[in-house]
Structure 1
Amino acid sequence: MLSIPRSSVLPVDAPAHPAMRKKPSVDAALLGYNAFAERNQPRYARYAQARLAREADVTAAVRATLSLARQRWDWLLLQPSLAADVWAELRRQVGEVVPQDVTEAATLYSSLPVTSADSALLCWRVGLTAGEAAELMGLEQPAVEAGLRVARRAHPHLAKGGAL
């Protein structure tokens, strides 16, 4: 195998002073965050719309969630499930705004474990598959499927295309 020695001379267009060079790891992390936000923002918004009445509240909840994720991105990258941590934050943001009225979504959240309620809302109202919901929430697909079974037993009228 031929080995070509690397030159210690910087390319002509590269800044000579180390402080002027960009850190590739910072750029890569920002790129990763941007891809994550671009992929998930529309689905986060659909979830928030299913739970919140006002569009301004939807926008604020999603924006706050993604802003917090950006601030903590380096820490999130070290966690076992980045998606689960960001999902928990979105659920918290939405939960702080949800009015205490009697809607089908409110019924789900008051009568079911949160994973079951999230699974039912994402699959039955938002229209995600169990696999898509699992990926969004940072869970394994069997956990979402189990959550759906719990929700179906508790609210069979909603599982059959009800007004959720």
Structure 2
Amino acid sequence: MRPRAALAATDLGFAAFTERNRPRYTRYAQARLAQAVHVAGAVEATLVYAREDWYWLLGQPSLAADVWEELRYQVRVLSGTASARDADVNGLYDGLPENSADSVLLCHRLGLAVGEAAELMGLETPAVQAGLAVAHRALPHLAKRGRT
């Protein structure tokens, strides 16, 4: 059994993680999913996953990457029933690798700095920059349109 102070610190860590990431996860899910109920469901399922596996996640090389992958999984499952409101967002995910599409969505569509997008996805900044470069080469019209 874990000491009470360790449990409290872990609970505080999860609460801080949730406080920081829920709004950004919600914005991402809103951009990918058409219905508000699906957005809430994807984010909630992701945070339940994180809470239930919090001790295990703390021991992983990148907690943020593992939870981000769960959010993407939840969004993929729900996007099968209803695609995004914005056809350009659908085009990103149809025409690019998922990391590249996420990089464009987060940086160009949602306005996150490259470093913030990398932190959110649990990646190094150069990985997000590479994802953006792939997008600019593969679908320049979609990548550029999101900068406005």
Counterpart contact for 1:134–1:144, Cα < 8 Å: yes
Partner of 2:69: 88
SS at match of 1:121: helix
| Equivalent AA in structure 1 for residue 12 of structure 2 | L
Partner of 1:149: 133
TM-score by length of 1: 0.82
| Equivalent AA in structure 2 for residue 157 of structure 1 | H
SS at match of 2:34: coil
TM-aligned CA deviation for residue 159 of structure 1? 2.3
| Equivalent AA in structure 1 for residue 114 of structure 2 | A
TM-aligned CA deviation for residue 153 of structure 1? 1.1
TM-aligned CA deviation for residue 111 of structure 1? 1.6
Aligned equivalents of 2:133, 2:99: Cα separation in 1: 11
- Over aligned residue pairs, what C-alpha RMSD do you find? 1.9
TM-score by length of 2: 0.91
Aligned equivalents of 1:163, 1:100: Cα separation in 2: 22
Aligned equivalents of 1:122, 1:163: Cα separation in 2: 11
Higher relative contact order (CA 8 A, sep 6+): 2
The correspondence for 1:120, drawn from 60, 82, 104, is 104
From the CA coordinates, give the structure whose radius of gyration is larger: 1
TM-aligned CA deviation for residue 72 of structure 1? 0.4
TM-aligned CA deviation for residue 113 of structure 1? 1.1
User: Would you identify which runs of 4 or more consecutive aligned residues in structure 1 move more than 3 Å?
Assistant: none
Aligned equivalents of 1:47, 1:122: Cα separation in 2: 7
Query: Which runs of 5 or more structure 2 residues have no equivalent in the other structure?
Result: none
Q: Does 1:161 align with 2:142?
A: no
Higher helix share: 2
| Equivalent AA in structure 1 for residue 126 of structure 2 | P
Moved more, 105-114 or 95-104: 95-104
The correspondence for 2:30, drawn from 49, 52, 56, is 49
The correspondence for 1:136, drawn from 117, 120, 126, is 120
Identity %: 59
